[in-house]
Amino acid sequence: MIPAALVVLFVAAGLIAVAAEPNFATPAALAGVLIPVLLLRRRALAKASEATPVLIALALFVATVWAAAFWGLAGPLDLAERAGKITLFALAGGIALCLPVSGRGAVTVLIGLALGATAVALALAENSLVGALADLFVPAEAGELEAIFIRANLHKAPAVFLALVFFPLALLALSARGRNAGLAIWAPAGVTAAGVAISGHETALLALAAGASAAGLAYWTPRLVGGLVLLTVGFLMFAAPSLLHNGDLKPLLDATRASTSLQHRVLIADFAAARIAEKPVLGWGLDSARAMPDGSKNIAETPSRLARFAVDDLTPKVWSRGQNMPLHPHNMALQIRLELGLPGAAAALILLAAGVAGVVRLQSARGRAMAFGMMATYLAIACVSYGAWQSWWMSVLILTVLLGRCALAASARLRGTS
């Protein structure tokens, strides 16, 4: 047994680190939780030999992160914090992948997930209804626009969560014995999917559709789906930057003109591709997307960009307010290539390949379908939204892995194969 005093010591050390340097709050908190878990469950973790290829690939990726920290544009302290945080999140992911999951406990977790997802979906529905009524009967004043913008974006993270957890709930429903038991799980699964639709978050809805398509195809041909996943991500990291930088931008701008957000994403990707072309091998360094030259400037204020398109090609909002790169490329694949260069992109693809191989080796066809559904949904969202190193987004990935493993264990127990 590990003395409780030792656990308290690590937590106290984390609090001291936070007090000494607030920027290290997230890494310190993670360390305070993960180190005791490693000590308490070290024997169980060591037995998870089937996860070894993924863990090796994960260690390789973390090594490229630390290497890229040496030439990043941010300050040394910020780079150390970011690299340390990514390392600890990688450690948390490894623990989530290796911790033993019992069938009985997994069923309990999934039932709790069903109740929680239902509550989130109902809250999203209420928010959408109230927001629609407010917009209809209470016209916004100039001073309220910021508050309305915040309200309009509050639903995005919950919608993303619902899109991901639909798949473990669906697997549990398919595995339940008896019609009533199946309906009891399909009800929250259906409410979850409806919550994504009602939220109005286009990215989450399209990602859920992509995940459902991948799951359906993976049930019959998992190797094909795994190959398509690797091919798509590999294309985005290795080929797309060059094609985008050297190609004609006008067709993409015309195709996305109906969506201000999507058209802005195209221009952000074009800016990232131009910067990748300047440092194609080693990249700009860890977390450099935030400090990219001209990144915070508006597109209209950057003469070098105006040669790529005409003003009439852009929507008025993109032209007047769109930044070249607001904090990050809103595309995980492009951000990894931009910051970590070819070594980081190769390590990321190896890590993904190890994960795909692990899913293909699953014995249950339904389990493979669920895993590929979650993987496709996460990657679809990651390639159009959010920064690769955002704490909550990395947490979602770890939670996805853990819930997926719980769903597999729960499904095996319900079918009587565990």
Structure confidence at residue 28 as a pLDDT band (50, 70, 90): low
Task: Report the length, in residues, of the chain.
Answer: 418
* Helices 103-137 & 179-199 angle (0-180, nearest 10): 40
Report how far residue 409's alpha carbon sits from residue 107's, in angstroms, rounded to the nearest whole number: 8
Q: Are residues 69 and 109 in the same domain?
A: no
Residue 334: count other Cβ atoms within 10 Å of its Cβ.
Answer: 27
What are the distances in angstroms from CA 235 to CA 19, 121, 230, 243, 417?
Answer: 44, 35, 8, 10, 39
pLDDT digits (tens, 9 = 90+) for 129-157: 555 444 544 455 544 444 444 455 566 77
Residue at 407 is within a domain: no
Residue 85 corresponds to which tokens in the numbers above? 């945080």
The dihedral through the CA atoms of 27, 30, 34, 35 has a sign that is positive
Residue at 165 is within a domain: yes
Structure confidence at residue 48 as a pLDDT band (50, 70, 90): low
Lowest mean pLDDT among 89-98, 178-187, 255-264, 267-276: 178-187
| pLDDT score at 102 | 77
Half-sphere exposure of 403 toward its Cβ, with a 13 Å CA cutoff? Answer: 28
Residue at 405 is within a domain: no
Q: Are residues 134 and 245 in the same domain?
A: no
293 pLDDT above the threshold of 90: no
| pLDDT score at 16 | 46
Report how far residue 245's alpha carbon sits from residue 252's, in angstroms, rounded to the nearest whole number: 12
- For residues 350 and 260, which has the higher predicted lDDT (pLDDT)? 350
What is the span of the domain harbouring residue 1?
1-45
Q: Are residues 324 and 380 in the same domain?
A: yes
The dihedral through the CA atoms of 117, 118, 124, 127 has a sign that is negative
Lowest mean pLDDT among 55-69, 209-223, 272-286, 322-336: 322-336
The dihedral through the CA atoms of 47, 50, 54, 56 has a sign that is positive
Residue at 163 is within a domain: yes
What is the pTM assigned to this prediction?
0.86
Residue at 135 is within a domain: yes
| Secondary structure class of 88 (helix, strand, coil) | helix
Give the chain's domain count: 3
On whether the CB atoms of residues 297 and 323 are closer than 8 A, the answer is: yes
| Secondary structure class of 224 (helix, strand, coil) | helix
